[in-house]
Structure 1
């Protein structure tokens, strides 16, 4: 299967002029009323990212995150699942050396149940945790969070500096992920780290394979998941905001998800 090549246009993910490839059409996977039911996936050969076109609107995002219940099922609440989640994030905090000293300040963006904050507290009770989310759904359910802020990241004081920030399965939901990287970087101390996890792509997918694998991909959430990133995207974008890659692993879940650590320089 081959793509229909488009004329060069700015990539919404990296900003470079590129001949974007049309991977194929995808239908909404969420029942909410959205501004359109006609979506497609585009691939940028410059940054090797795949993203949804058109992007969800502000009203679409409100339906998805402020007018929906996101964390009620057993995937988030069963004792077995919580154990698995904390085992993973606990090992990440330890193995990636995300907490470099005592009394660290931790910022969790798009926190939900704030698992990184909880794993950080388990690793070092002296750390101070701040969780941010646009939804109040989990705000009163996270006793391990010292400050749970409901609202945009921009509404937090810009003067607060952190040793560790995290976005776990958050960045794929953002229409303007580069702006968020910049906003987080500005809140990190020099040497501070940003821990990111997100969907990557269907196992073994390459740009010439087309849309079929994406339609069977468990992380194809339309229009909630806006962009599927690559290490190339982060290598291009992170230095613009004073950050560098110190860890990249795209082998999670048989290559379907990635783990990344950026450091403020």
Structure 2
């Protein structure tokens, strides 16, 4: 589904991502791990169009995305969440989500001025999409709560829901379990599995190794911006270079 070939990003004299190639299969969970500063977030930023690559190719279902704007990439079906979930704090949870499907609407300034039928129909669709996404992540009961009043774990779920309202093919989840407790981590991992079971493809960056090892179909390990290893969780656990650079012996299998 997603084919990345020799992706490179230079910032002046610093090479943050260096000649990385990987494929993400449709309906799978691919995890990207590595030490702090390994280039994981930059890698996500390149895929999602937040920054442009210095060289290399990023193809989604045969369509080249390298060089496109973030909104163009989102319309192709790539949704992105971030390490820190920033919401409109004084708006309700539902109103935060209604914004998401605007990516797929066509009404503009004059539709608003004249309150056209198209605007009314699109507003109805946006609300329906938001309600469906909220139900999917298990937060229908928090629809009318202010975003400022919900928990960190609930904000993570809202971020998932906001991504879903854009009708994505693939979700890029940047530290989806960051800042939540172990029990909440299990719940978010189950939600990620539910996303894949519903037909989505997931690529995530995460530091919680127990979660990654039980969740991922494939793991890409980055180190100093380069691909150190790629394989199944079992293969990564047994990779001496990965153990030395990142995992430590506690994650190696006997």
Task: Give the TM-score, by structure 2 length.
Answer: 0.29
| Higher-RCO chain (CA-CA 8 Å, sequence separation at least 6) | 2
| Greater gyration radius | 2
- Structure 1 or 2: larger helix share? 2
- Structure 1 or 2: larger strand share? 1
Task: Give the TM-score, by structure 1 length.
Answer: 0.28
